[in-house]
Copies of this chain bind each other. A is one copy, B any other.
Amino acid sequence: MPSPKTQPARGMRDFLPADVRKREYVIGVIKSVYERYGFEPLETPAVENIETLMGKYGEEGNQLIFKILKRGEHEKTGEADLALRYDLTVPLARVVAQYQNELPKFFKRYQIQPVWRADRPARGRFREFYQCDVDVLGSNSALVEAELISAASDALVALGFKDFTIRLNHRQVLTGILDQAGVPRDRHDDALISLDKMDKAGPEGVARELNQRGIVDESAVKLMRFFEGLAGAEHAANLIDFNDSSDGRAAYNADVQGRLVEFVGPHETGAKGVDELRQMLQFAKSGGAAQRIKLDPTLARGLAYYTGAISRLTWRISRAASAAVDVTITWLACFSVRTCRRAASRWALNESSL
């Protein structure tokens, strides 16, 4: 009889043959798209030296790292010297430093491997799950960003997904907006955490949170006026452009760009960010992803390592078109570009069945 003793560890899953085949199908499709874009495979060990991981993911991340006890007589000390991979980004940084003489200066790699997080396993979230990262090192061109978005978009289309949106923003644009609104630099993080909740809490919720976080003066008013204007434009676009036609989307993105240029004005960093977004939209036109991109200046993402473009791919479907993926799936993909060094598209296959 099945018993608690024969269950997999909490938050982990066994994959019986039908499940393995589904996951292999999905990973195979993603791989073949990545390969078509010229990304090369990389694999790193599941286990890293603990110093490699600690302190890289913030205080919350540190708590979620699975730590491995020293072996032999040192076991009694209760100390850990190794840890399980928490993401594929920190191992990539280590690999790039270690093999800089062997790797090309311009290096496009994909890595599809499991990661482990000691999260409280909620519905549809697991302690062992696959990430499918794409990163480009050695270029800070907006072309590289556009390529990452195209690759992820193509992979989703190849998997039978149709109805998804790539929300796109830029950390430098956010800096420009906050500076121009008059939010002091040391309150930027607070402001970003609040803004990032726009799609869930709405403008009123965000205004309330800004208040609670002590951003109360004229800067909050300016900020909210800008974002309420954007929300109005989005509402109008949704009313008119209910078919999400690519023309309608392009018009909306042009409107947002106009508002950003106006608000950011002569702010150097902000203007540079807006220009990068413009270039990305431009380059994306040659691929199939352009019509799926939606500029979203509220998109902030928590992690401090986002210094360039930020994008987030969101969709929720109850049944995919592809017969091989015929289950309820919620996927999340997020992209980032680090300062001049790398562009990354990271997918977390953190769904309920794959």
**Interface of A with B (CB < 8 Å)?**
1-3, 5-9, 12-17, 19-21, 23-24, 40-49, 51-52, 63-64, 66-69, 71-72, 75-80, 82, 84, 94-95, 97-103, 109, 114, 116, 118, 127-128
Q: Please tell me which one of the listed residues B14, B99, B127 contacts residue A98 in the complex, with CB atoms under 8 A apart.
A: B14
| Known contacts A14-B99, A20-B40, A69-B80, then 17 further A-B pairs from the complex at CB < 8 Å, ordered by chain A residue | A8-B45, A9-B45, A9-B47, A9-B48, A15-B44, A16-B99, A17-B42, A17-B109, A21-B41, A47-B127, A63-B71, A63-B72, A66-B68, A67-B68, A69-B69, A78-B78, A78-B79
> In the complex the two chains form, what is the Cα distance from A102 to B15 in whole Å?
12
Minimum-distance CB pairs A-B, first 7: A78-B78, A12-B45, A17-B40, A6-B98, A20-B41, A15-B43, A6-B97
Report chain B residues within 8 Å CB of A99.
2, 14, 16
CB pair A45 B103 closer than 8 Å: no
CB pair B82 A44 closer than 8 Å: no
Report chain B residues within 8 Å CB of A63.
71-72
Copies in the complex: 2
Report chain B residues within 8 Å CB of A17.
40-42, 109
Can you report 22 A-B residue pairs in the complex whose CB atoms are below 8 A from each other? Answer: A1-B100, A2-B97, A2-B100, A7-B98, A8-B48, A9-B49, A12-B47, A14-B42, A14-B98, A15-B41, A16-B42, A17-B40, A20-B42, A21-B41, A45-B128, A47-B84, A47-B128, A68-B84, A69-B69, A69-B78, A69-B80, A77-B78
Smallest CB separation, A141 vs chain B (Å):
22
CB pair B42 A8 closer than 8 Å: no
CB pair A15 B42 closer than 8 Å: yes
Report chain B residues within 8 Å CB of A41.
15, 17, 20-21, 24
CB pair B15 A116 closer than 8 Å: no
Report chain B residues within 8 Å CB of A42.
14-17, 20
> In the complex the two chains form, what is the Cα distance from A97 to B6 in whole Å?
6
> In the complex the two chains form, what is the Cα distance from A63 to B12 in whole Å?
24
Report chain B residues within 8 Å CB of A118.
71
> In the complex the two chains form, what is the Cα distance from A94 to B95 in whole Å?
36
CB pair A67 B69 closer than 8 Å: yes
Q: Please tell me which one of the listed residues B9, B43, B72 contacts residue A14 in the complex, with CB atoms under 8 A apart.
A: B43
